[in-house]
A = this chain, B = another copy of it.
C-alpha cells in the first residue's frame, strides 16, 4: 500500500504519460476487429494480440485462451495475501462500421476533432477497457507493488453474444476467481455527471425470414393473386407492438417486476430533459411505452426493435415485383427476471398466430442473455464513489443501463462475485453508430479513476 505521497507520484506519472496512453489507443483502434464479419477473423485476432503484447511488455503474466471462435486474452498480477481479487472484463472486438458513407473520417482511421477521438471501438470498448490496462501498467511502472491482485479477461466476441465465454466460464472459474468484476463498457449519466451502473437489460436477437412464391413475380400479372411476403412481414412485425409502444406477445410482461418507487423517485431527480435528449439524437419527439419516463423505458422496461429490413428491389429505379422473400433482424431488450429462452417460444407462438395466409417463415434465435441487477451496498461501490469523484470532479449517481453485457449475469452466477460497472462514456458517443467517439479527457480521467480505484478498494479491505 503506497503512502499518499507515493500515490501522488503515481498520479503525476499518469498525467505525464497521457500522450503515450492516447497513442496506444489510436494504434489499437486502427485494427478493424469486427467480430461478426467472417472476413475479418485475422484482424480480430490481431486486436487480441495487441493487448496481449501490451500486458507482456509491462511484465504482466498474460496468455491467449483459445476458443472455437475468437480467443480470450487473460492476464493477472501477482496474488496479494489478504487483499481482494478484482477481475477486469472488457472486449477487443467491435461492431460493424456500416453505413460507411456516414463517417466523417474512416472508422478505422482514428481522428481527434474538438477534443474527441473518433473511431469504431473508441468508447465500445477498446477506449474504456484500455483505461484499466493503462492504470495497472502505470502502477507497475511506478515501481510500487499493486495493493491487490488484478486479473484481466479481454474477449473478442462481446458484440456477437459472448457464446464461447459463456460456455467456457465454468471451466475457467478457478482461474477467474475474484471478489468483484470491474467493467467499463457503459456511460456516464451526462456530461459532468459520472455514474455507477447497477442494472443492465438482457437481450434476445432473432432473424425472421418470410417466404412466398418460389421466385420474384411480376406485380401486374400476379398482384392480387398471392400474398406479398413483404406485406406479410410488415403485418407480422406490426403485430408485435401496439400504437402505445406496448408489446403484444402473450406472456411477454408476465415476469417483469414493477419498478421500485425509490428508483423512480431517484431517477426523476437526474439532470436530463426529454427535450435535450430528443435534440441530442435529432428527433422532434421521443416515443415509448405509455406510463413510463424516458429513463425508465430505456433502462428498466423491456422493448422491441427492428434492426434491419430487407426484401425485393432496393437499388435504383423501379422494379415492379412481388418479392419471393422478405427478412428482418429483430432485437428485444429484456429486464431482470425475463427469460430469453421463454421469449423465443412466445415469439414463435405469436408469429404462428399472426401469419398471413400463403406465406411460410423461419425464426432463428441469434443471441440471448438475461438482464442483471447488482447489489450497490458494497465496499466496491464505496471505493468507486471516492475514486470517480476524485478523477471526474463529481460524485457518481446510481443508474441502470439499457444496453446488455451478456456475460455479466454469468459472472455473478459462476464466480459468485460483486459487479462494478463504471462507464466513462457519454450518451452521444455513438456506440454502434457512425462517428463513434470517446472524449479524450474522459479517457484520461478513466485511467486516473481506475488507478485510484485499486487504492480505494485495497484501503477498505485492510
Centre residue among A289, A292, A306, A323 by max chain B CB count within 10 A: A306
Q: Tell me the complex Cα distance, A220–B303, Å.
A: 9
- A224–B308 touching, CB < 8 Å: no
- A435–B215 touching, CB < 8 Å: yes
- A318–B160 touching, CB < 8 Å: yes
Number of chain copies forming the complex: 2
- B312–A329 touching, CB < 8 Å: yes
User: CB within 8 Å of B: which of A296-318?
Assistant: 297-298, 301, 303-318
Give the interface segment out of A13-21, A173-181, A279-287, A448-456.
A279-287
CB nearest to A236 among chain B residues: B234
Q: A33 an interface residue at 8 Å Cβ cutoff?
A: no
- A217–B432 touching, CB < 8 Å: yes
Q: Tell me the complex Cα distance, A215–B315, Å.
A: 21
Q: A267 an interface residue at 8 Å Cβ cutoff?
A: no
Q: A83 an interface residue at 8 Å Cβ cutoff?
A: no
Q: A226 an interface residue at 8 Å Cβ cutoff?
A: yes
Q: A205 an interface residue at 8 Å Cβ cutoff?
A: yes
Q: Tell me the complex Cα distance, A404–B218, Å.
A: 10
- B357–A224 touching, CB < 8 Å: no
CB nearest to A186 among chain B residues: B221
Shortest CB–CB separation between residue A143 and chain B, in angstroms? 40
- A214–B281 touching, CB < 8 Å: yes
CB nearest to A333 among chain B residues: B223
Return the contact of A358 from the options B226, B287, B298, B326 (Cβ within 8 A): B287
- B287–A333 touching, CB < 8 Å: no
Q: Tell me the complex Cα distance, A311–B227, Å.
A: 22
Give the interface segment out of A105-113, A146-154, A237-245, A337-345.
A237-245
List chain B residues, Cβ under 8 A from A326: 306, 309
Shortest CB–CB separation between residue A378 and chain B, in angstroms? 24
Q: Tell me the complex Cα distance, A359–B281, Å.
A: 12
List chain B residues, Cβ under 8 A from A283: 212-214, 226-227, 358-359
Interface SS majority for chain A: loop
Q: A96 an interface residue at 8 Å Cβ cutoff?
A: yes
- B433–A401 touching, CB < 8 Å: no
Q: A191 an interface residue at 8 Å Cβ cutoff?
A: no
List chain B residues, Cβ under 8 A from A205: 318, 320
User: CB within 8 Å of B: which of A262-293?
Assistant: 277-278, 281-289, 292
- B215–A433 touching, CB < 8 Å: yes
Q: Tell me the complex Cα distance, A309–B366, Å.
A: 22
Shortest CB–CB separation between residue A193 and chain B, in angstroms? 16
Q: A48 an interface residue at 8 Å Cβ cutoff?
A: no
CB nearest to A306 among chain B residues: B230
Q: A331 an interface residue at 8 Å Cβ cutoff?
A: yes
CB nearest to A322 among chain B residues: B305
Q: A349 an interface residue at 8 Å Cβ cutoff?
A: no
Q: Tell me the complex Cα distance, A231–B247, Å.
A: 12
List chain B residues, Cβ under 8 A from A367: 318
A305 with B435: in contact, given A226-B281, A286-B225 (CB under 8 Å)?
Answer: no
Return the contact of A315 from the options B98, B285, B314, B356 (Cβ within 8 A): B98
- A306–B228 touching, CB < 8 Å: yes
- B313–A308 touching, CB < 8 Å: yes
- A285–B234 touching, CB < 8 Å: no
CB nearest to A328 among chain B residues: B230
List chain B residues, Cβ under 8 A from A98: 313, 315, 319
CB nearest to A38 among chain B residues: B316
A309 with B307: in contact, given A161-B318, A358-B286 (CB under 8 Å)?
Answer: no
List chain B residues, Cβ under 8 A from A134: none
- B313–A230 touching, CB < 8 Å: no
A96 with B317: in contact, given A226-B287, A287-B357, A333-B224 (CB under 8 Å)?
Answer: yes
Would you give 12 A-B contacts (Cβ < 8 Å), ordered by A?
Answer: A96-B319, A160-B317, A223-B298, A223-B331, A226-B278, A230-B328, A235-B238, A287-B356, A307-B321, A309-B309, A309-B310, A321-B433
